[in-house]
Structure 1
Amino acid sequence: MKRVLVTDGLQAVGVDALRKHGLDVDVAGALGEGELAARIGEYEGLVVRSATRVTRAAIEAGRRLEVIGRAGAGVDSIDVDAATERGVIVMNTPGGNTTAVAEHTLGLLLALARRLPAADVTLKAGRWEKSRLQGVELLGKVLGILGLGRIGSEVARRALGFRMHIIAYDPYLTREAAERLGVESVELDELLTRADFITIHTPLTGDTRHLLGEAELARLKPGARLINCARGGLVDEMALARAIQAGHVAGAALDVFEQEPPPADHPLLQLEQVIVTPHLGAATDEAQTAVALAIADQVADALLRGVVVNAVNLPATDAETHKEQAPYLGLAEKMGRFLAQMAEGRMQEARLTYAGEIVGRPTAILTLALLRGLLGTILSEHVTDVNAMLIAKARGLKVTETSTTESPDYASLVSAELYTDRGVASVAGTVFFKREPRFVQIDGFSLEALPQGWMLVFANLDVPGVIGRIGTLCGRRGINIAGMQLGRERRGGRAVSVLNLDDPMDAAALDEIRAMPDIVLAKLVKL
């Protein structure tokens, strides 16, 4: 039974769901780096929220670790690069907290515009400061949104209800897509100079750290207000404090900080113009239930069924697409294993061609499956879809893909060629009846071979007696032939045959076949 360690107070419904899937689950609180490294070695899965930091040291200590699940959207607390190198899947639940964060953003927007926290504090202290705490309306104001993904789009929809004018900067969104949301797409510099309020909804990466630094804050429209419910580190906090103290920025509302919790003497905590909340964006009953159930299902699917969704270090795919591609994933992995056992010499390049209907579905995951089969067969290190491309690159194996909608003989065809310093080996395959994989070409010879179990593959001159001699040898040695397929280029030319065997053939028998007249090559392949 596979084991999962759950930290950070994941809701009980998520823990129960993992157990109902048949996983052995242990629950812990937030763990420090040393504590996590000491415990993680016995687990295949790890589920965290935001408190536990999953460092390189912890990941390297996870000798059985296969998947890290983040109950939430941000993965900046996880060393994704280290996980990728180790072949560990990192997945999140990007949609479960969308509504909660969008609503929190609008709450802070209103509180910032109407100075509600200061009004609450002063009145409770016995001071009636109505005139001093005059606010501004949202009607007609310009709201600038940095990042128009799931959460940014939901914020835009709600802000339109306040009859604000919405502008957005998102380099990965077309103007047409923004316009469909009722949003004007602009460049970053224009947003900074036009917006009355700015709200940030981008991930924290090396490129977005201090997205709003001292220079950007200086370009803001005088009197602008800033909201950050995304990630600490997107705003230069010291520069923001100075901009507010100087009167250039009217105020800020922050739910996230570079250091959480922030130190008590943090400059922003001393300013009345700044509203702060302790990372509450996703802290609703509904959101926590949703992400707990989602991550439980995702981790269980990955560990028990090999179905991976919402992985941040794998090509994006959803459960339905994965289900559709599953037969081709198995085919591609077997093609890789086949080539690893057929080719001779140092690998130089793997060329993949996708033809026919399959080009309308994601093919990157098929390439990774083929590489996993290829490299996992010949290397002692742990190869998964996550690190297969990294390992290929490190070993100097060039990987190329081409696609064409034309496939004269099959609805979909996957072809692979492995070039080495001693030649090239190739195989092509398809799936019959949506579930039955077949090899339909080997080294350019057409046939229909079942890719499973022990396979004797031999090439010979197309003359009488070859098949008979090999059949006689198998009978003499007690090896049952479960199936046979052959293809030839022309009468009297070369031929390739595949025998599916119920049992392996020993080296002496293989050498006997190789010594037969008219045999060009013979290989025993295990799939």
Structure 2
Amino acid sequence: MKVLVTDPILPDGIEILKKAGLEVEERTGLSPEELKEAIREADGIIIRSGTKLTAEVIEAAERLKVIARAGTGLDNVDLEAANRKGIVVMNCPGGNTNSAAEHTLAMMFALARNIPQAMTSLKAGRWERKKFMGRELMGKTLGIIGLGRIGSVVADRALGLKMHVVAYDPFVTPEQASKMGVELVSLDELYARADIITLHVPLMKETYHLINAESFAKMKEGVLLINCARGGIVDEMALYEAMKNGKVAGAALDVFEKEPPDPDHPLLKMENFVCTPHLGASTLEAQKNVALAVATQVVDFLVHGVVRNAVNMPSVSAEALKILKPYIVLAEKLGALQAQLAEGPVEEIAIEYQGEVSQLDTEPLTVALIKGLLSRALREDVNYVNAPLRARERGIKITESKTETAEDFLNLIAVRIKFKGGDNYVAGTIFGKTEPRIVQINRFRLDALPEGHMLYIHNEDRPGVIGLIGVTLGEAGLNISRMYVGQEPEKRRNVILLSVDTPPDESVVSALRNLPHVLSVKPLEL
């Protein structure tokens, strides 16, 4: 079997592949057309961030069984295309955690002490001690947005520097943050209090341009900003304006929305701007860790049939997967739905398997459900292997129960989650042999296909409400592809699940919320 390696990894990893009897073809710097040709006969491919595996490239693969990312992020892989072709996608979470955290600290020191600017000045023959007056980190307040794997390490190191650490993470409980020595606050309070802000969240719809002009307006005068997470989380033009007017005293970016950035990017002209070319994982230790890990995972899968750190399938045999796959899809959708309905960090998950599904091996289903729930917060840092561990780390209590009969269905997966201040109940089933359906949300019964861009609307059951919703979406240019309605007759209330062709922006959601008799609106991604 052949493994194609299209981004550089250390020789240690290549040696593991060869010793296992795999044919290794190393071809870096391929154009899209060259990549389509090279991938055609490959059984596996190892990439880093440089290779873009688009749907077109994946479609060209004729034998491909596994895509392995030597690192964490999978922004450069079309997961939907891989899923359609039944290709396992795996990453190596944790291999570069310390490296990324230390790079964040390096950026913080560079900003606080003007190190790059002072070095440039001295090399140019100037001795400008007064110009580069710095600031101490001890006693300063560090605001961490995203208290996951890397963010928590940054917090630990910052506490060692005698900094005060506040953090915003809607998926972490105050108790968990307190154990880390971190004060959990709202995003607006973090903006108001932090002397330095560092970002450690995945890039997704909810975090794209999370830091924008409105955010900067809420920050302290003279704040320092660091982004070693993902390009696109910061609105770079808004950052430029905030630096020009002095609101932001300095910024450090390791990542850009477009990489590499244009040579005439205005931020690159700013003297108080520090930047590096996506070096967060670029240490010898991190690269050795991920090279060894990715090569071992590929060998385990191609040679021994063992799945490790897969992001799109659980670790089960091929035979069992044929039976379990529809339920795995349903369980993950239920988890994702619960994550988006929750009004705070999840504290408990109670899962009940009813009917035929209770006779199956439900462990992969529970793992899939947890993954679906946590993926909203952790994105590529959670997969079918580490989901239970990530839940335990966050103090989430998980219980399972099984009942051989289900009242209205041959099989039913019911999930109740508890969060501070409330709980939610959702249930789903499989229609036919493969089609997942949501059949209950709290007290509302319905029949909904959980797929794509959706709107969850809670409204009073009155004439004309659904019509107004349709008109509002039509005026915004959004097409309704499916509509599902659940009723609670005694209270004259409905829930509506709408599938739309494109994701609604905040202005559309706000317009819907302002309609008469509409009680709440939530956009969902399923």
TM-score range, shorter chain: 0.5 to 0.7
Q: Give aligned-pair identity as a percent.
A: 50
Structure 1 residue 352: Cα displacement = 4.3
Residues 355 and 403 of structure 2 are in contact (CA less than 8 Å); yes or no, is this contact kept in structure 1? no
Q: Which amino acid aligns with 2:7?
A: D
Instruction: Kindly provide the CA deviation profile for residues 308-350 of structure 1, in whole angstroms up to 9, marking residues without a partner as x.
Output: 22222235xxxxxx5xx66xx755646899xxxxxxxxxxxx9
For 2:293 and 2:219, locate their aligned partners in 1 and report how far apart those are by CA, in whole Å. 39
For 2:296 and 2:325, locate their aligned partners in 1 and report how far apart those are by CA, in whole Å. 29
Structure 1 residue 85: Cα displacement = 2.4
C-alpha root-mean-square deviation of aligned residues, in Å? 3.0
Query: What corresponds to 2:395 in structure 1?
Result: none
Structure 1 residue 351: Cα displacement = 6.1
Where in structure 1 are there 5+ consecutive unaligned residues? 316-321, 338-349, 368-384, 387-401, 408-413, 422-527
Residues 225 and 249 of structure 1 are in contact (CA less than 8 Å); yes or no, is this contact kept in structure 2? yes
Structure 1 residue 25: Cα displacement = 1.3
Query: What corresponds to 2:183 in structure 1?
Result: 184
**Secondary structure in 2 matching 1:354:** helix
**Secondary structure in 2 matching 1:363:** helix
For 2:76 and 2:165, locate their aligned partners in 1 and report how far apart those are by CA, in whole Å. 31
For 2:88 and 2:157, locate their aligned partners in 1 and report how far apart those are by CA, in whole Å. 35
For 1:335 and 1:271, locate their aligned partners in 2 and report how far apart those are by CA, in whole Å. 55
Structure 1 residue 353: Cα displacement = 2.7
Q: Which amino acid aligns with 1:202?
A: V
Aligned pairs for 1:419-498 within 5 A: none
Query: What corresponds to 2:7 in structure 1?
Result: 8
**Secondary structure in 2 matching 1:210:** coil
Structure 1 residue 149: Cα displacement = 1.2
Instruction: Establish whether residue 270 from structure 1 lines up as the match of residue 265 from structure 2.
Output: no
Instruction: Kindly provide the CA deviation profile for residues 33-75 of structure 1, in whole angstroms up to 9, marking residues without a partner as x.
Output: 2211121110121111111111111011112212111111111
Residues 251 and 272 of structure 2 are in contact (CA less than 8 Å); yes or no, is this contact kept in structure 1? yes
Instruction: Kindly provide the CA deviation profile for residues 363-398 of structure 1, in whole angstroms up to 9, marking residues without a partner as x.
Output: 35799xxxxxxxxxxxxxxxxx99xxxxxxxxxxxx
Per mean C-alpha deviation after superposition, the further-off stretch among 221-230 and 28-37 is 28-37
Structure 1 residue 7: Cα displacement = 1.1
- Of 362, 365, 369, 1:363 maps to 365
Query: What corresponds to 2:122 in structure 1?
Result: 123
For 2:43 and 2:280, locate their aligned partners in 1 and report how far apart those are by CA, in whole Å. 30
Go from structure 1 to structure 2 and tell me whether the alpha carbon gap of 1:415 and 1:128 turns closer, same or farther (over 3 Å shift): closer
Query: What corresponds to 1:438 in structure 2?
Result: none
Instruction: Kindly provide the CA deviation profile for residues 251-283 of structure 1, in whole angstroms up to 9, marking residues without a partner as x.
Output: 101111112221111111101100111111111
For 1:38 and 1:116, locate their aligned partners in 2 and report how far apart those are by CA, in whole Å. 46
For 1:8 and 1:227, locate their aligned partners in 2 and report how far apart those are by CA, in whole Å. 27
Residues 355 and 403 of structure 1 are in contact (CA less than 8 Å); yes or no, is this contact kept in structure 2? no
Q: Which amino acid aligns with 2:76?
A: S
Structure 1 residue 103: Cα displacement = 0.8
For 2:359 and 2:58, locate their aligned partners in 1 and report how far apart those are by CA, in whole Å. 39
Per mean C-alpha deviation after superposition, the further-off stretch among 237-246 and 187-196 is 187-196
Aligned pairs for 1:314-353 within 5 A: 314=313, 322=315, 330=319, 333=322, 352-353=356-357
For 1:305 and 1:194, locate their aligned partners in 2 and report how far apart those are by CA, in whole Å. 53
Residues 32 and 53 of structure 1 are in contact (CA less than 8 Å); yes or no, is this contact kept in structure 2? no
For 2:108 and 2:430, locate their aligned partners in 1 and report how far apart those are by CA, in whole Å. 57
Go from structure 1 to structure 2 and tell me whether the alpha carbon gap of 1:197 and 1:419 turns closer, same or farther (over 3 Å shift): closer
Residues 167 and 183 of structure 1 are in contact (CA less than 8 Å); yes or no, is this contact kept in structure 2? yes
Q: Which amino acid aligns with 1:214?
A: A
**Secondary structure in 1 matching 2:226:** strand
What TM-score results when the alignment is normalised by the length of structure 2?
0.63
For 2:153 and 2:311, locate their aligned partners in 1 and report how far apart those are by CA, in whole Å. 22
Query: What corresponds to 1:243 in structure 2?
Result: 242
Instruction: Establish whether residue 28 from structure 1 lines up as the match of residue 20 from structure 2.
Output: no
For 2:324 and 2:213, locate their aligned partners in 1 and report how far apart those are by CA, in whole Å. 54
For 2:221 and 2:313, locate their aligned partners in 1 and report how far apart those are by CA, in whole Å. 43
**Secondary structure in 1 matching 2:242:** helix
Go from structure 1 to structure 2 and tell me whether the alpha carbon gap of 1:103 and 1:83 turns closer, same or farther (over 3 Å shift): same
Give 1 or 2 for the bigger CA radius of gyration: 1
Where in structure 2 are there 5+ consecutive unaligned residues? 327-353, 370-382, 385-398, 405-410, 414-428, 434-526
For 2:355 and 2:270, locate their aligned partners in 1 and report how far apart those are by CA, in whole Å. 60
Residues 351 and 418 of structure 1 are in contact (CA less than 8 Å); yes or no, is this contact kept in structure 2? no
For 1:191 and 1:29, locate their aligned partners in 2 and report how far apart those are by CA, in whole Å. 42
Query: What corresponds to 2:60 in structure 1?
Result: 61
Query: What corresponds to 2:282 in structure 1?
Result: 283
For 1:249 and 1:163, locate their aligned partners in 2 and report how far apart those are by CA, in whole Å. 23
Structure 1 residue 288: Cα displacement = 0.3
Q: In the comparison of the two structures, how many residue pairs are matched?
A: 359
Residues 210 and 236 of structure 1 are in contact (CA less than 8 Å); yes or no, is this contact kept in structure 2? yes
Aligned pairs for 1:150-169 within 5 A: 150-169=149-168
Go from structure 1 to structure 2 and tell me whether the alpha carbon gap of 1:404 and 1:58 turns closer, same or farther (over 3 Å shift): same
Go from structure 1 to structure 2 and tell me whether the alpha carbon gap of 1:133 and 1:336 turns closer, same or farther (over 3 Å shift): closer
Instruction: Establish whether residue 73 from structure 1 lines up as the match of residue 66 from structure 2.
Output: no
Instruction: Kindly provide the CA deviation profile for residues 72-92 of structure 1, in whole angstroms up to 9, marking residues without a partner as x.
Output: 111111112222222222211
What TM-score results when the alignment is normalised by the length of structure 1?
0.63
For 2:121 and 2:320, locate their aligned partners in 1 and report how far apart those are by CA, in whole Å. 69
**Secondary structure in 2 matching 1:47:** strand
**Secondary structure in 1 matching 2:243:** helix
Query: What corresponds to 1:478 in structure 2?
Result: none
Query: What corresponds to 1:404 in structure 2?
Result: 401
**Secondary structure in 2 matching 1:167:** strand
Residues 100 and 284 of structure 1 are in contact (CA less than 8 Å); yes or no, is this contact kept in structure 2? yes
Structure 1 residue 174: Cα displacement = 1.6
**Secondary structure in 2 matching 1:275:** strand
Residues 358 and 403 of structure 2 are in contact (CA less than 8 Å); yes or no, is this contact kept in structure 1? no
Query: What corresponds to 1:483 in structure 2?
Result: none
Go from structure 1 to structure 2 and tell me whether the alpha carbon gap of 1:163 and 1:333 turns closer, same or farther (over 3 Å shift): same
Q: Which amino acid aligns with 2:33?
A: G
Go from structure 1 to structure 2 and tell me whether the alpha carbon gap of 1:406 and 1:260 turns closer, same or farther (over 3 Å shift): same
Q: Which amino acid aligns with 2:365?
A: T
**Secondary structure in 2 matching 1:353:** helix
Residues 168 and 185 of structure 2 are in contact (CA less than 8 Å); yes or no, is this contact kept in structure 1? yes
For 1:29 and 1:219, locate their aligned partners in 2 and report how far apart those are by CA, in whole Å. 44
Residues 355 and 406 of structure 1 are in contact (CA less than 8 Å); yes or no, is this contact kept in structure 2? no
